[in-house]
A = this chain, B = another copy of it.
Amino acid sequence: MPDGAPKKPSRIQMRNRSLILDAALDVFSAHGYRGATLDQIAEAAGLSKPNILYYFAGKEEIHVTLLSQLMETWLDPLVEMDADGDPMSELLAYVQRKLDMSRDLPRESRLFAVEILQGAPRMLPHLQTDLKPLFDDKCAVIQGWMEAGKLAQIDPRHLMFTIWSTTQHYADFDAQIQILSGDDPMQGARLHLETLFRRLLTPQTS
């Protein structure tokens, strides 16, 4: 029995674990951590509650697993922003990738939002170790672009906040947007944000 061998998971394990995580994503993103119940998750997954606890040690482990997986997905669009590419194209492409995520992964966006809203009790370490260095790095890249005259001057950190808030808003506040928006909001959002950030970032040759 070599101690480090984690024993590859069976097909059943793979299937049920992802069944559970998918159900948990539904429930946690809709009710927050405290508002979610194992019974809801079990029913949504089509499994019995004790069976859920056969695959995960407890409610918290499910939540933490979900958040850890999400962190990667969430940072990916920012990682892809290339310091050597064309500044305006890179930033606009980043905005579009973030907007795509709001459209394609609204549950994940809400899970993230509700966690931060509640003070990020289970995610502060992740934010410190994963997000913070990446954020500082990319802000420096943007600062460099601005100093090179490729983009209009603006505080890079607040620029990032603006990108995040405007794009994620379409997932997180969907209920409100559905009420106020006439036609398909997402198509309009695409054009709107493209215009917004182009006007904001186009350098003025005085």
- In A43-85, which residues have CB < 8 Å from any B CB? none
Q: Is the CB of B157 within 8 A of A188?
A: yes
Which chain B residues lie closer than 8 Å to A160 at the CB level? 180
A200 within 8 A of B: yes
Q: Is the CB of A161 within 8 A of B177?
A: yes
Contact of A169 among B36, B161, B193, B199 (CB under 8 A): B161
Tell me whether A196 and B154 are in contact in the complex, defined as CB-CB below 8 angstroms, given that A114-B32, A175-B120, A180-B131 are known contacts. yes
Which chain B residues lie closer than 8 Å to A127 at the CB level? 176, 179
Contact of A155 among B119, B157, B188, B200 (CB under 8 A): B188
Which chain B residues lie closer than 8 Å to A34 at the CB level? 31-32, 34-36
Contact of A166 among B154, B157, B166, B199 (CB under 8 A): B166
Q: Is the CB of A118 within 8 A of B154?
A: no
A108 within 8 A of B: no
Residue interface bits A6-49, CB-to-B below 8 A is 1, else 0: 00000000000000000000000011111110000000000000
Residue interface bits A156-195, CB-to-B below 8 A is 1, else 0: 0111111011101110110111011110000011011101
Contact of A120 among B161, B176, B181, B200 (CB under 8 A): B176
A135 within 8 A of B: yes
State the A residues within 8 Å of B (CB). 30-36, 110, 113-114, 116-120, 124, 127-128, 131-132, 135, 152, 154-155, 157-162, 164-166, 168-170, 172-173, 175-177, 179-182, 188-189, 191-193, 195-196, 199-200
The 3 closest A-B pairs by CB, nearest first: A34-B35, A165-B169, A158-B192
